[in-house]
Amino acid sequence: MDIINILDRIGCWTQNVIKVLKLFFFPKPLNRPPKIRLKKYTIHETFSLYLQLVFILYLVIGVLMIIAKMPIHAILALCIVAYLAIRFILIAGANFIINVSAYRFFYYGLVGISSVAFVGYMILRRIKNDPMYLYGFIGSITVVVLAFRSYFKVRFGRDYTYGVVEEVKGELAKVFVHDDISANVKPGYYWVTCNLKVKPGDLVKIAIENKTLRGAIPKGVIEVAQSSQTKTEPKAETE
């Protein structure tokens, strides 16, 4: 292989790297569904799962770095990369994530709080390596997390969600519900009570019941939002 071919390959590789970095740092909303998606999930669930996986991976790596006593600048670099990755997913999937503003607030908030927790813990351990100070700091972060959770519920929380009717049997209806962060409902099929006249394909508003440490569970249909609609949330509320 001559030097010209080697240089040509290096040039092509460099261009590809620059394109990827440009896309990562300056993402744009996708107009078409991504080619890489999970078959058992809708596009909304796919993006939501990506967000969850990135955040969990970030937490795991952060804890391992603290245990390994990595330098603070390495922790800061991890926090920045996690923020950029979540930002990329939220912007790229803006046209497909239902109620994207709630997801944006939720994940940006969690990344911010966890970044303060990681960096603050590392600094405090170096300055005051006293268990009382460390426990106090951990307690403070716990209070902040609970306050953030409460504020999120006030700002975005709902006591209902939306679902698409799949099947009707007497006073019961089988509905499919998307991942709904505002109602704290997991995606899936649920049998709920239904005293209204509905048919498969209808978009319905569903009351939920909150379960401690288990999220919310759809309980019963309270309104027919749109007839024969396949989205799980009216357009007016998603914009």
Q: What is the DSSP string of 36-78?
A: S--TTS-HHHHHHHHHHHHHHHHHHHHHHHHHTT--HHHHHHH
181-202: pLDDT as tens digits: 999 998 889 999 998 888 898 9
State mean pLDDT over 131-141: 89
Mean pLDDT of the region 37-44 = 71
Of 21-25, 103-107, 184-188, 219-223, minimum mean pLDDT range = 21-25
What does the mean pLDDT of the chain come to? 86
The widest CA-to-CA distance across the chain, in whole angstroms, is 77
The length of the chain, given as a count of residues: 239
Other CB atoms within 10 A of residue 170 CB: 7
pTM: 0.81
Distance CA 158, CA 59 (A): 28
- pLDDT-derived band at 233, boundaries 50, 70, 90: very low
Nearest in space to 105 (alpha carbons), one of 85, 120, 118, 87: 87
d(CA 176, CA 171): 17
Give the pLDDT of residue 238: 38
Query: For the residues 36-63, what does the mean pLDDT come to?
Result: 86
- How confident is the model at residue 19, as a pLDDT? 80
Give the mean pLDDT of 1-24.
76
Which pLDDT band holds residue 160 (cuts at 50, 70, 90)?
very high
